[in-house]
Amino acid sequence: MKREIAFTLNNEEIAVEVEPNWTLLYLLREVLEMTGAKEGCGVGECGACTVIVDGNAISSCLYPVMEVEGKNVTTIEGLSKEDGTLHPLQQSFIENNGVQCGYCTSGMIMSAKALLDKNPDPTENDIRVSIAGNICRCTGYVQIVESIRKAAEKMKNT
Amino acid sequence: MKGYDYYKPDTIEEAMKMMSTLDGAEYIAGGTDVMVLIKKKALSPQNLISLRNISELSYIDTDNGLRIGSGVTHSRISESDFIKRHYSALFDAVSNIGSVQVRNVGTVGGNICNAAPSADTLCPFLVFDAVVLIAGQKGEYQLAIDDFLLGPNRVALAKGEIVKGINLPALGANSGSAYIKHTRRKAMELPIVGIAARIDIDAKGHPNDWKEAFRRIDDISDMLRLLEKERFVCNDARIAMGVVAPRPIRAKKAESALQGKVISEGLLDEIGRIAASESQPRDTLRGEAWYRREMVHVLTKRAVLMALERMIHADSSNNPKTS
Amino acid sequence: MEDFLYVGKDVPRTAEINKVTGRAVYIDELKRPGMLYGKILYSRYAHARIKSINTEKAKKLPGVKAVITGYDIPDVRVGFMEDQTVLKRDVVRQYRDEVAAVAATSREIAEEALDLIEVEYEELPAIFDPVEAMKPGAPLIHELDGHGRPVKSNVLPLRWTLNVGDVEKARRESAYVVKDSLTTPWINQCCLGTSGCVAEFDSVNNLTFYSQTNVIFGAKQRISRYFAKIGLKDKKIRVINPIVAGSFGTKLDTDIYEFICIQLALKTRRPVKIQFTREEEFRTLPPRQTTRFEIEQGCDKNGMLTFRKAEAILDNGAYTSWGATTPSVMMMPISSLYRVPNVYFNAVCVYTNNIYSQAMRGYGNPQASFAVEVSMDHLAEEAGIDAAEFRMKNRNRPGEVTPMGLKITTCPLDRCITTVKEKIGWDQKRGKKNGRGVGMASLIHVAGGARVYLSDGTGIRIKVDENGHVDVLSGSTDQGQGSQTVLAQIIAETIGFRPEDINIIFGDTALGLWDAGTHASRHTFIAGNAAIRAGEKVKRQILELAVEYVPKLLKSDFRKQKKKDPDFHEPELDFTLIDNPEKLDIKDRMIFAKKAPENPNFRIDVARVLNRALNVGNGESKTVMAEVFWDPPTQMLNSEMKGNWSCTYAFGTTGAEVEVDTETGEVKILKLVAAHDVGRAMNPTLVKGQIYGAAYIGVGFALTEKLQVVEGRVMNPNLRDYKVLTALDDIPVEAVIVEDPDPMGPYGAKGIGEPGLVPTAPAIANAIYDAIGIRFTDLPITPEKVLAAIRAKKQENQQRDA
């Protein structure tokens, strides 16, 4: 009982056939082969699958694919420019060691992007709240917070 | 994962109709509970009926009290300055449910209908005397939240009925509230114990600007001493406790012990002790019963204090209209 | 200080750019044509006899390609002590015992098939407490050992005893003696990516195995031994590492699921992937085991340590992995943290029906240092000496040889202690007992390799092509620490290239030379040493080419210029300045004459030289390539558990300031200062990343994390109930890099992968004692425990007063 849904994925309108019981994460990873969003737990407790839907960070592992119809979805794959130029957040994570094993990174950056899109001048606490649902086992979050803070500064000044 | 079909009605009527015609159907709102249950095979629906696209469920109305549509997300509530200022306990609850990702899709209706003993919004709704607005087969009707909650994950909804929203009465002029979620970590948590308190003060006989004197006080004990000295009386109080019973409950004895009394540090400690005696916590891997009981004692006191502080520091000119 | 271009600089980890664009391929992203998905059926009991297994229904499910049980594969033993089979067919000894496995065309079908397998069990009495299991007459978990000989006891036949000096005599002569019992819980390593692998055989049964192992050659050897037992002796094996999402000890051993995956691939003739769910990761991945310590130590009236005696019981669980060797590392802080002349240590690992255990970051050191350092505070108090001063008095010093035979070369422990004292405000804050307190703890850890195998070496191969691109083939792995970046810095510095010129290829047994693995905080030290040596060889080769080709290039340049400009006069050059490789150097891609570094004529891009020199044709083309295998001059521990098993040792001190909520029992960390001896920081930002990350895991160990295992069953197999700290649990941690370049270290570096975790928990426990006067000896220090202890103490005081 496949159904067709249409939505905007990383600024591109797409139509795709889905099974109604898929999650958005399943569609992204298994069908569209966009594997930036990770499945760290599958039940919304780690944040590795975070993507942005209509401006909000959500756990794509719990997001019914049928709800994506007509919406605007941004994933980590849609962040850098076509010429490969990194988004300031991506650049900052590399420069400030916000990345270690990298498994939380996609989700972490998407949570941070959702924050900065709404609040370009966040406090440290705002940053920590925005990524509190993104578990990281490597970094102790210190350099992740730093990466986001510095990216915010850079984005403000350009 | 077993297959299911997915429906997205636009109106309550349509949704209820689907529920009556589709086999093995379940409603789904934000999905943060339902999708987890499906993944864990605790729920195997044949059909899911999404309530997310029903616009008549997504209102926040702040005129004379507060009315929230069941489809409103936790994030939307936490972004409301009005709720933060006046219905602070509800703000406390919704701003620390799970994570941003959960709050962005999880709805207030989902939280109350799932009715977990740890559901964060239930304690605040209990202290605000909230009324649940239900769309049933024979039309809309209302049920006090206390009557709506039956037990763990059980609510007074007949098959097919939909919670349309929740109504909170207007608050008195000198009212304050707070919700304390006691957790091991600061995020991604269910409470070990959750305590909500609302307290209304009788300011009759005190000068109009009585709060000014209090606002200059930093120390909380000094604030309490002054309240006692000036003989401020509690007009009305509600205390609700989560995770200490099969469902969130009110500490009614503690409430009555507060009612009509002059506020004092000793009284608050007594209230905490009474609330603790009203709790019936269990030993679970998430927390031991004795500890939960202790926390009811400590946190009830702290929640009432926080409510008092907020009441004093609230900008009185912006208080909600009284009915 | 020497002037380095890249060493010691915050070079960004650009090599891992795919991790921020979503393009990094971990095991979960890896797909092979025709690949199937494997799933494992685990035991329903902690201890039971399997009466029957019926797989018929599962086999009939469409999409299922294979269902295997212990009866379908050779009945051979695997593991560190060869104490288990791949699939269990007679007895299950723990909940995670693998009873059957399925390969199907999708994960969902494989999962559904598991539900269709019928297993009948007959429950057997189980034993979950190692102390009970040690008692004579306790039911035996294993009746036969790996060689089929009868077993008499649940205590593993591994002897972990160190006995130096005369502990009994020293005790009698001590002015002060304290004794403490301490316990630590099961800890799940919690890698954010779950465990998984892909096994793929070619048509003649050669295996390519995609594994997250951090010891690729160890994995290959274990598979090779397994192959020998199952009739695949002469088959080729290639182990390839994808990008690895954290390890923290989980990837040292070859896990049973990996052997199962190989069997499923063999059976189905198709590539098979097994990827754990988070729940499986919690239920079945071997965690850090529980440990009970009895520790006793004493000092003389001047506060100098006289002896230390420690005994440990480790819950091994039902089978044995590397976790059973952690006592070798526990011995290190027990014998060698602070100077203590008389030492006795004994540890036993005991079989139980609990989940079997593996190592975790720190490899026993966090548990042992918790015991040592809490006891140190206790002893300082008993002796009436300030705990920081006590540590300073007894600190390790350069040049000493510890009771375990560790040769301490560089040791800035004094600076670590004083830095922490200063930054935490020790003198102002210590001893107030007002609900706020400060505490500290130190550590010693291997920082120059750890000879746990016969070889602790690594091989590295560097080749440079005609474009000036450098490929480095190494048998190491990276789990996220940034080894590629650090190695690129070291090689760039050594040869004279830029880090971005260096392409590091890790984790492929077919390409890399042998390596003992990325563990024991050894990678930067060992691979760095090998890289410098190989880099120097490569540099020499390039300079030899330069001697030959720079004059040729210059002359051809002059000819060209003359063609363009008839007035051009060829400069008079002193070619003796560059007639010998010794006279040349390379920096930042430029070759130059050492005696005339600024002479523009002799400054030539190294790529130009390579381009001209390598592909000259006429059968005389050359390569620039060097390989080095470097094995550090260290010893394995001997039968007395003595030996200098690392080239150098790292020290460090963590200070904690805490506030205890005496009404709720909650401990708030106001400040953590982690001062670590790193030799020389190769990349300060990356070094700090290691310290921050480790400290955070240490805070979890101290306060929140515990795998709750009740009668053998993991009760909190999810990230909601297993309390890994979140970003909102803001721990203000300051990482202080203490530099004292190590003469053996690559550019002076020491290892820093594990140390940050080690002293964190005891520092916090000691700070809590300073805050409220209660010594906590059972981790994690939960609010329940704190509040209960506060109540008990109050009651005790009341009774005493009455």
Touching chains, C (3+ CB pairs < 8 A): A, B
Q: Chain C: nearest CA to A43, how far in angstroms?
A: 9
Q: Tell me how far the alpha carbon of residue A110 is from its chain's centroid.
A: 3
Residues in chain B with CB shorter than 8 Å from the CB of A130 are: 100
Domain shared by A16 and A45, yes or no? yes
Q: Is A41 on the interface with B (CB under 8 A)?
A: no
- Mean pLDDT across C453-474: 96
The pair of three-digit structure tokens given for residue B293, joined into one six-digit string = 């009981």
Strand partners, C539: none
A103: nearest CB among C192, C689, C730: C192
Which residue intervals of chain B bear CATH 3.30.465.10? 55-168
Domain shared by A10 and A43, yes or no? yes
Domain shared by A122 and A146, yes or no? yes
A138: nearest CB among C13, C22, C246: C246
- Mean pLDDT across C284-311: 97
A21: nearest CB among B4, B75, B101: B4
Q: For the segment A40-72, what is each residue's pLDDT rounded down to a tens digit?
A: 999 999 999 999 999 999 999 999 999 999 999
Q: Is A31 on the interface with B (CB under 8 A)?
A: no
Report the domain count for chain A.
2
Q: Is A135 on the interface with B (CB under 8 A)?
A: yes
Note the pLDDT of residue B47: 97
Please indicate, yes or no, if residue A83 is contained in any of the structural domains.
no
Which residue intervals of chain B bear CATH 3.30.390.50? 175-318
- Mean pLDDT across C677-703: 98
Domain shared by A8 and A50, yes or no? yes
- Mean pLDDT across C276-290: 97
Q: Do A102 and C20 touch (CB under 8 A)?
A: yes
Please indicate, yes or no, if residue A9 is contained in any of the structural domains.
yes
Q: For the segment C420-439, what is each residue's pLDDT rounded down to a tens digit?
A: 999 999 999 999 999 999 99
| pLDDT band with cut points at 50, 70 and 90 for residue C729 | very high
Note the pLDDT of residue A129: 98
Give the SS3 label for residue B236. strand
Q: Residue A28 belongs to a domain with what CATH number? A: 3.10.20.30
The sheet with strand A50-53 has its strands ordered as A12-18, A3-9, A72-74, A50-53, A56-59
Q: Do B287 and C784 touch (CB under 8 A)?
A: yes
Residues in chain C with CB shorter than 8 Å from the CB of B190 are: 720
Residues 6 or more apart in contact with residue C60 via CB below 8 angstroms: none
Residues 6 or more apart in contact with residue C320 via CB below 8 angstroms: C79, C80, C81, C83, C156, C349, C356
Q: What mean pLDDT is reported for chain B?
A: 94
| pLDDT band with cut points at 50, 70 and 90 for residue B2 | low
Q: Is C715 on the interface with B (CB under 8 A)?
A: yes
Please give the sequence-ordered ranges of beta strands (E in DSSP) within B88-246, or none if there are none.
131-136, 139-144, 149-151, 154-155, 162-168, 175-182, 193-202, 233-242
Q: Distance between CA atoms of C243 and C27, rounded to whole angstroms?
A: 7
Touching chains, B (3+ CB pairs < 8 A): A, C
Q: Do A45 and C22 touch (CB under 8 A)?
A: no
Q: Is the distance from CB of C550 to CB of C604 less than 8 angstroms?
A: yes
Give the SS3 label for residue C327. helix
The strand pair at C305-317 and C342-351 is best described as: parallel
Percentage of chain B modeled with pLDDT above 90: 89
Q: Do C726 and B286 touch (CB under 8 A)?
A: no
Please give the sequence-ordered ranges of beta strands (E in DSSP) within C276-361, or none if there are none.
291-299, 305-317, 342-351
Interface mutation vs chain A, best among C14, C19, C111, C279, most A CBs within 10 Å: C19
Touching chains, A (3+ CB pairs < 8 A): B, C
Please indicate, yes or no, if residue A10 is contained in any of the structural domains.
yes
Residues in chain C with CB shorter than 8 Å from the CB of A85 are: none
Q: What's the N-to-C CA distance of chain A in angstroms?
A: 49
Tell me whether residue C538 is exposed, middle or buried, using C-beta atoms within 10 angstroms of its C-beta: 0 to 12, 13 to 18, 19 or more.
Answer: buried
Strand partners, C349: C314
- Mean pLDDT across C462-476: 96
Q: Distance between CA atoms of C291 and C316, rounded to whole angstroms?
A: 9
Residue C10 has pLDDT above 70, yes or no: yes
Q: Chain B: nearest CA to C103, how far in angstroms?
A: 17
Which backbone phi and psi does C431 adopt, to 5 degrees?
Answer: 85, 15
Residues in chain C with CB shorter than 8 Å from the CB of B285 are: 708, 710, 715-716, 721
- Mean pLDDT across B100-111: 97
Last residue of a domain, one of A28, A53, A78: A78
Say which CATH topology domain B55-168 has. Answer: 3.30.465
String of b and e for C304-316 (b: at least 16 CB within 10 Å)? Answer: bbbbbbbbbbbbb
Q: For the segment C87-112, what is each residue's pLDDT rounded down to a tens digit?
A: 999 999 999 999 999 999 999 999 99
Please indicate, yes or no, if residue A137 is contained in any of the structural domains.
yes
Question: Residue holding tokens 């849609």?
Answer: A78
Give the SS3 label for residue C547. helix
Q: Is C105 on the interface with A (CB under 8 A)?
A: no
Note the pLDDT of residue C621: 82
Q: Distance between CA atoms of C529 and C509, rounded to whole angstroms?
A: 20
Percentage of chain C modeled with pLDDT above 90: 97
Q: Is C42 on the interface with A (CB under 8 A)?
A: no
Closest CA to C269 of C197, C199, C196: C199
Domain shared by A109 and A68, yes or no? no
Q: For the segment C511-544, what is each residue's pLDDT rounded down to a tens digit?
A: 999 999 999 999 999 999 999 999 999 999 999 9
Residues in chain C with CB shorter than 8 Å from the CB of B288 are: 784
| pLDDT band with cut points at 50, 70 and 90 for residue B315 | low
Please indicate, yes or no, if residue A65 is contained in any of the structural domains.
yes
| pLDDT band with cut points at 50, 70 and 90 for residue C719 | very high
Residue of C nearest to A143 (CA): C689
Q: Chain B: nearest CA to A135, how far in angstroms?
A: 9
| pLDDT band with cut points at 50, 70 and 90 for residue B318 | very low
DSSP state of B211: H
Interface mutation vs chain C, best among B182, B185, B243, B292, most C CBs within 10 Å: B185
| pLDDT band with cut points at 50, 70 and 90 for residue C599 | very high
Note the pLDDT of residue C146: 87
Residues in chain A with CB shorter than 8 Å from the CB of C188 are: none
Residue of B nearest to C729 (CA): B186
Percentage of chain B modeled with pLDDT above 70: 97
Q: Answer yes or no: CATH 3.30.1540.10 is held by domain B5-50.
A: no
Q: Do A59 and B5 touch (CB under 8 A)?
A: no
The sheet with strand C237-240 has its strands ordered as C64-69, C98-104, C36-42, C272-275, C196-201, C207-211, C237-240
Residue of A nearest to B95 (CA): A129
Residues in chain B with CB shorter than 8 Å from the CB of C719 are: 188
| pLDDT band with cut points at 50, 70 and 90 for residue B320 | very low
Note the pLDDT of residue B218: 86
Q: Do C729 and B287 touch (CB under 8 A)?
A: no
Give the dihedral of Cα atoms C588, C594, C595, C600; nearest 10 deg: -30
Q: Chain A: nearest CA to C732, how far in angstroms?
A: 9
Residue B137 has pLDDT above 60, yes or no: yes
Q: Do C727 and A136 touch (CB under 8 A)?
A: yes
3-state helix, strand, coil in chain C (%, to 5): 35, 25, 45
Note the pLDDT of residue B1: 47
Residues 120-159 of C with CB under 8 A from A: none
Q: Tell me how far the alpha carbon of residue C626 is from its chain's centroid.
A: 28
- Mean pLDDT across B93-107: 97
The sheet with strand C91-92 has its strands ordered as C91-92, C48-54, C118-123
Q: Distance between CA atoms of A76 and C22, rounded to whole angstroms?
A: 6
Residues in chain B with CB shorter than 8 Å from the CB of C726 are: 185-188
Closest CA to C445 of C205, C759, C760, C697: C759
Give the SS3 label for residue C473. strand
Which position has the higher pLDDT, A1 or C230? Answer: C230
Task: Report the alpha-carbon angle C364-C365-C371, nearest 5.
Answer: 100
Question: Residue holding tokens 């590629």?
Answer: C484
C716: nearest CB among B182, B285, B295: B285
Boundaries of domain holding A26:
3-78
Domain shared by A103 and A139, yes or no? yes
String of b and e for B159-193 (b: at least 16 CB within 10 Å)? Answer: ebbbbbbbbbebbbebbbbbbbbbbbbbbbbbbbb
Full DSSP string of C355-379: PP----TTTTHHHHHHHHHHHHHHH
Domain shared by A95 and A45, yes or no? no
Q: What mean pLDDT is reported for chain C?
A: 97
Q: Do C719 and B288 touch (CB under 8 A)?
A: no
Interface mutation vs chain B, best among C660, C720, C730, most B CBs within 10 Å: C720
Residue B319 has pLDDT above 50, yes or no: no
Domain shared by A66 and A126, yes or no? no
Kindly list the structural domains of chain C, giving each domain's residue range(s) and its CATH number in brackets, ordered by start. 31-126+195-275 (3.90.1170.50), 291-452+637-800 (3.30.365.10), 457-630 (3.30.365.10)
Q: Chain A: nearest CA to B239, how far in angstroms?
A: 28
| Domain B175-318 class, CATH top level | alpha beta
Q: Tell me how far the alpha carbon of residue C313 is from its chain's centroid.
A: 22
- Mean pLDDT across C211-239: 97
Please indicate, yes or no, if residue A122 is contained in any of the structural domains.
yes
Residue B323 has pLDDT above 50, yes or no: no
Q: Residue A152 belongs to a domain with what CATH number? A: 1.10.150.120
Q: At what angle do helices C606-614 and C523-564 cross, to 10 degrees?
A: 80
Q: Do C26 and A38 touch (CB under 8 A)?
A: yes
| pLDDT band with cut points at 50, 70 and 90 for residue B317 | very low
Q: For the segment A83-126, what is each residue's pLDDT rounded down to a tens digit?
A: 989 999 999 999 999 999 999 999 999 999 999 999 999 999 99
Residue B241 has pLDDT above 50, yes or no: yes
Domain shared by A73 and A114, yes or no? no
Q: Do A64 and B40 touch (CB under 8 A)?
A: no
C728: nearest CB among B186, B286, B287: B186
Last residue of a domain, one of A78, A101, A117: A78
Which backbone phi and psi does C680 adopt, to 5 degrees?
Answer: -125, 135
Q: Chain B: nearest CA to C716, how far in angstroms?
A: 8
Residue B316 has pLDDT above 80, yes or no: no
Please indicate, yes or no, if residue A30 is contained in any of the structural domains.
yes
Q: For the segment C606-622, what is each residue's pLDDT rounded down to a tens digit?
A: 999 999 999 888 888 88
Q: Chain C: nearest CA to A87, how far in angstroms?
A: 9
Catalytic residue among C122, C754, C784, C796: C754
Q: Is B6 on the interface with A (CB under 8 A)?
A: yes
Residue of A nearest to B5 (CA): A20
C754 in catalytic set:
yes
Domain shared by A57 and A116, yes or no? no
Domain shared by A135 and A70, yes or no? no
Domain shared by A67 and A94, yes or no? no
